Structure 1
Amino acid sequence: MDLGDGILLRPLLPGDGAELAAAYTRNRDHLAPWEPLRREDYFTAAHQDRLVARTLQAVADGRSAAYVLTHGERRIVGRVNLSDIVRGAFWSTHLGYWVDGALAGRGIMRRAVSAVCGLARDDLGLHRVQAATLVHNAASQRVLHATGFAEIGRAPRYLRIAGRWQDHLLFQRILEDPVVPGS
């Protein structure tokens, strides 16, 4: 799917490990404040190949949907993931995303999140998408507000990010509702 500015959104594929390792290495400092602490092997093609295989198994099992942002056909410049897909009475998922530091602030992630929410609704039949951001991650909160997410609460010590338990703001988007940016 063309997101403009030469950026494509496509499903994660076998063989993406080496390019993901390069993307994570290139963005190591950019992502560090927003992610769990990473061991050195996380930044290797071999480790990313294993993670891709595990993720694709979760996709095949219906528990996840995984996408990459590419510049042109190959260079990975971001990810968007739907994880912990629950059906039954819930029909919900968790959203995670990041974009290459060199591309931040250009509206690319806003377009990617909108597209993935459309896929979650139309292709996966989901009802709700939840996302969480660190309390001080204003850029991520702007993405969520612009794509129709509403803040629903604050979770103390929600995730262990950058080596310590940190509070997060929780957001949701009901996929059947019309998008009202800034809700």
Structure 2
Amino acid sequence: MLIAPDIEMRRATVDDAQALAEAQVRNKEHLRSTEPHREAEFYTAEGQVERITGAGSDTWLLVDRAADGIVVGRLMLNGIVMGPLCGASLGYWVDGGYAGRGLTTAAVEEIIRICRDEIGLHRIEAGTLTDNFASQRVLTKCGFERYGLSAKYLHINGAWRDHIRFERLLHDDPPPHVPK
């Protein structure tokens, strides 16, 4: 699906492992302050295949240039749970060379639509480092509301870091298979 004239978002497959590894290498410094420590294997095609195939209930979507398939971002829906929760946690990043162009906002808006209309989720949660103002702006623009702070939530860039927690309620319909 196109999210900008020359940018598409699509589900990741093992065929994307090399392009994703190249994007991770290209953005290593750009993402250092917001990502956990990564072993050298992470930056290889094999390491990316492991992540894509080991995702379990997670869904990976790639943002890439439609013309040549160069990966310029990734979104992850983690811990998708149906039943009475019907929720998931959202993570994302965009290539440093594409930051500030509205791509992240467009991609998050599209993932909201997918979660609501195709998967049937009731809620999406996301967290940002307390000083990641760009990501907080994206979430706010996309209708997420701040609901709390998780102390020392993730080990990022060498330290346990606090995260501001956001949520977006997508609808008030009952879960699938529950009478209305």
The reply to whether TM is greater than 0.5 is yes
What are the residue-to-residue correspondences of 1:86-101 with 2, within 5 Å? Answer: 86-101=81-96
State the alpha-carbon separation in 2 of the partners of residues 97 and 76 from structure 1: 13
Which residue type is aligned with residue 25 of structure 1? V
1:14: Cα distance to partner?
2.2
- Spell out, residue by residue over 1:96-135, the C-alpha distance to the aligned partner (whole angstroms, 9 max, x if none): 0000000001110000000001100111110000000000
Which deviates more, 82-91 or 107-116?
Answer: 82-91
Q: Is the 8 A contact 2:73 2:93 kept in 1?
A: yes
Corresponding residue number in structure 2 for 1:64? 58
Q: Secondary structure at the match of 2:32?
A: helix
* 1:104 alignment partner, one of 95, 99, 103: 99
Q: Is the 8 A contact 1:16 1:52 kept in 2?
A: no
* 2:147 alignment partner, one of 145, 152, 157: 152
Which residue type is aligned with residue 16 of structure 1? D
Which deviates more, 165-174 or 10-19?
Answer: 10-19
Corresponding residue number in structure 1 for 2:2? 2
Corresponding residue number in structure 2 for 1:180? none
1:5: Cα distance to partner?
4.1
Q: Secondary structure at the match of 1:34?
A: coil
State the alpha-carbon separation in 2 of the partners of residues 80 and 131 from structure 1: 11
- Any gaps of 5 or more consecutive residues in structure 2? 173-180
Corresponding residue number in structure 2 for 1:74? 69
State the alpha-carbon separation in 2 of the partners of residues 84 and 140 from structure 1: 20
Deviation beyond 4 Å, 4+ runs, structure 1: none
Confirm or deny that 1:138 pairs with 2:130.
no
Which deviates more, 65-74 or 20-29?
Answer: 65-74
Q: Is the 8 A contact 2:74 2:92 kept in 1?
A: yes
- Spell out, residue by residue over 1:51-98, the C-alpha distance to the aligned partner (whole angstroms, 9 max, x if none): 12212xx2xxxx222200001241111001111011221111000000
Which residue type is aligned with residue 65 of structure 1? T
Which residue type is aligned with residue 26 of structure 1? R
1:24: Cα distance to partner?
0.2
Question: Please, what is the CA RMSD of the aligned residues?
Answer: 1.1
Q: Secondary structure at the match of 1:142?
A: helix
Q: Is the 8 A contact 2:58 2:78 kept in 1?
A: yes
State the alpha-carbon separation in 2 of the partners of residues 163 and 175 from structure 1: 35
Q: Secondary structure at the match of 1:172?
A: strand
- Aligned residue pairs, count: 171
Between the aligned residues of both structures, percent identity stands at 39
State the alpha-carbon separation in 1 of the partners of residues 50 and 22 from structure 2: 15
- Any gaps of 5 or more consecutive residues in structure 1? 178-183
TM-score of the two chains, using structure 2 as the length reference: 0.92
Corresponding residue number in structure 1 for 2:177? none
